[in-house]
């Protein structure tokens, strides 16, 4: 583990070597390690620190209003997470974070983060950009649920998870059961809709990967 890996994440984008040294000197932080399977944060607990994942992988799960556990995301190091909640009015964690691969986690106190923001405008700017990105993820989840049909929800999910104009989406975050919960539908209904899209020649589905064959046709279905 190299603590300097934190400077590869968006929160510290464009920092000079001098700025990087200042961050490590002025942040009041601790580093902890957690084994696979351990729950390190539970939904609804108070967020008191800035969290930076230095090594490992975390599952992010949310308990919805019906009491169902929904897999929202998988977080890979290095990355910050739950960033906006450190300064939120009700600064509660919106999800439960569970270790998938052994984790090394840096926690920095709210007070030292705030002091660093006051002296480093670039850090404040990056923090606001990262927070906006986090809020976008939340809005995407809400947007999914505004579509009434199973087909539209699934297609919107595919489009939201496309990367670098690739026509292949890896369903790393969810298996079919978890994806159905995320979309607010049943697994049999989702499987049936995926089969229809495959049979109609719009997508190819194999080994938790979806290849889009006819993007325009899918777009017209939203």
pLDDT, tens digit, 9 for 90 and up, residues 115-170? 999 999 999 999 998 888 776 666 676 677 778 899 999 998 898 888 877 889 88
Q: How many helices (H) and strands (E) does the chain have?
A: 7, 9
Q: Are residues 77 and 13 in the same domain?
A: yes
CA distances from 72 to 32, 137, 185 (A): 24, 9, 15
Q: Are residues 106 and 177 in the same domain?
A: no
Q: Is the pLDDT of residue 5 over 70?
A: yes
DSSP state of 56: E
Q: How many separate domains does the chain show?
A: 2
The residue among 144, 173, 206 that closes a domain is 144
What CATH number is associated with residue 139?
2.60.120.10
CA distances from 181 to 53, 90, 153 (A): 26, 26, 12
Burial call 165-185: b when 16+ CB within 10 Å, e when fewer = eeeebebebbeeebbbbbbbb
Q: Are residues 156 and 215 in the same domain?
A: yes
Picking from 215, 88, 96, the residue whose alpha carbon sits closest to that of residue 162 is: 215
Assigned token pair, 30: 């601790």
Q: Are residues 162 and 123 in the same domain?
A: no
The residue among 109, 144, 179 that closes a domain is 144
Residue 141's pLDDT is 67
pTM for the model stands at 0.69
Assigned token pair, 6: 């934190």
Residue 205's pLDDT is 92
Domain region containing 210: 150-220
Residue 94's pLDDT is 84
Q: Are residues 65 and 17 in the same domain?
A: yes
The residue among 144, 175, 201 that closes a domain is 144
Residue 70's pLDDT is 76
Q: Are residues 123 and 197 in the same domain?
A: no
Q: Are residues 99 and 114 in the same domain?
A: yes
- Residues 147 and 136: their CA atoms lie apart, in Å, by 17
What CATH number is associated with residue 168?
1.10.10.10
Q: Are residues 155 and 135 in the same domain?
A: no
Residue-wise pLDDT for 68-90, tens only, equals 777 877 889 999 998 888 988 78
Q: Are residues 161 and 86 in the same domain?
A: no
Q: Are residues 185 and 212 in the same domain?
A: yes
Q: Are residues 124 and 192 in the same domain?
A: no
State the chain's mean pLDDT as an integer: 88
Q: Is the pLDDT of residue 61 over 80?
A: yes
Q: Are residues 135 and 180 in the same domain?
A: no
């Amino acid at each position: 583990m190299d603590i300097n890996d934190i400077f590869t994440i968006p929160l510290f984008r464009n920092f000079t070597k001098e700025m990087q040294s200042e961050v490590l000197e002025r942040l009041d932080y601790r580093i902890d390690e957690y084994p696979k399977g351990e729950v390190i944060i539970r939904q609804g607990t108070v967020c008191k620190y800035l969290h930076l994942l230095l090594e490992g992988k975390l599952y992010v799960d949310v308990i919805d209003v019906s009491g169902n556990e929904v897999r929202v995301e998988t977080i890979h190091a290095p990355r910050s997470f739950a960033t906006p909640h450190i300064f939120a009015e009700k600064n509660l964690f919106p999800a439960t974070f569970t270790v998938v691969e052994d984790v090394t986690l840096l926690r920095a106190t709210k007070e030292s983060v705030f002091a660093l923001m006051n002296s480093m405008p670039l850090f404040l700017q990056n923090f606001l950009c990262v927070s906006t990105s986090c809020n976008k993820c939340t809005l995407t989840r809400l947007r999914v649920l505004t579509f009434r049909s199973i087909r539209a929800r699934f297609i919107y999910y595919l489009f939201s998870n496309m990367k670098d104009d690739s026509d292949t989406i890896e369903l790393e975050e969810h298996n079919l059961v978890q994806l159905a919960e995320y979309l607010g539908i049943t697994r049999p209904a989702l499987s049936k809709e995926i089969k229809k899209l495959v049979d109609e020649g719009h997508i190819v589905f194999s080994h938790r990967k979806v290849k889009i064959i006819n993007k325009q046709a899918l777009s017209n279905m939203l």
